[in-house]
Amino acid sequence: MEPHPTDLEQLIKLLLLILLPLVGGILAIWLSTKRLRERDELIDKGERVEGIIFDFLNDDGSIVTVSTGDTDFRARYPRIRFVTKSGEWITKQYQVTHTFLKQGDKVTVFYDPANPRNFHVQMGSVDVFLYGLIILAGIGAIGYGLYTLIVYLLQ
């Protein structure tokens, strides 16, 4: 004879199998579309300059040199250096890691003239692809949450 689930077990099941995917999926879609809108605004309204990949930082903030043929694919965040049109030097860690970049690569930078430390590095379609994958995962999580909710309600 199987024991009947308690009310607490049902609540935990409801939270983990239904609400978590729904909320997580909505959050993933919202954050990805927000980031894409911010990127598009910088490209449309920001200043465009050339920058370089100055160096790379590990998760712990230590500097690491990445060379061609490197097979260590841990998350490394490029530090970008560029000069604004007003002559200010900016060197700042970029928030997105890219394993195909190497130190000294030239990149196109779009920055906010009012706040040059707010910038976007043009990577072609890589960031659109990345955020697109996150959006698709969010849609999948929402679909799973809705499916689980329907199954739960029909029990």
Distance CA 130, CA 143 (A): 20
Query: Given this model, what pLDDT does residue 106 score?
Result: 93
Choose between 99 and 137: higher pLDDT: 137
In a domain, 142, yes or no: yes
Q: Which two tokens stand for residue 93?
A: 């860690």
In a domain, 3, yes or no: no
Q: Determine contact, residues 50/107, Cβ cutoff 8 Å.
A: yes
Residue 132 has pLDDT above 70, yes or no: yes
Residue 81 placed within a domain:
yes
Q: E strands along 19-155, which residues?
A: 47-57, 63-64, 77-83, 89-93, 106-112, 115-122
* Per-residue tokens: 126: 């890589």
In a domain, 66, yes or no: yes
Look at residue 61 and tell me if it is in a domain. Answer: yes
CA neighbor of 26 nearest in space, from 134, 126, 153: 134
Confidence of residue 52 (pLDDT cuts 50, 70, 90): very high
Q: Is 2 part of a structural domain of the chain?
A: no
Lowest model confidence (mean pLDDT) among 4-18, 32-46, 78-92: 4-18
